[in-house]
Amino acid sequence: MTRHPFPHPDQLMLDWENDPAVQARIEQLAAELAERQSFQWRLRLMMIESVMMGSLVIAAGTALRQPTAMVLQSGLFVAAACLASGMILIGLSALCAVGLAKLRKRWAR
């Protein structure tokens, strides 16, 4: 993609770089996007770890020649427990972040 050295004559010339309100809004939108994406990545990580732990339990039970129904049930229980504990951890970390932000605002006064 090539950039033209001069803008088109019909283009409205705006100087967004020098407007502090526009810069603050851009930074706010970028922070909101980053927060949303970080939460989604945490959820993905919890799902991947849960599936991996359940798979490892199933693989270990199969390698030890345990009954299939028991191995599958154990793998599902381990995956569910990992997912539940991960969700609790995500929730607690979000609560701590909110609490620390409120404390920071209170101390800034």
Each residue of 74-101: pLDDT tens digit? 999 999 999 999 999 989 988 998 899 8
The whole-number average pLDDT for the span 58-69 is: 96
Distances (CA, A) of 1 to 4, 13, 41: 10, 21, 31
Give the chain's mean pLDDT: 89
Q: Where are the alpha helices (DSSP H) in 1-109?
A: 20-63, 68-108
| Rounded mean pLDDT, 7-36 | 81
Is a pLDDT exceeding 60 seen at residue 52?
Answer: yes
Q: Does 8 have pLDDT greater than 90?
A: no
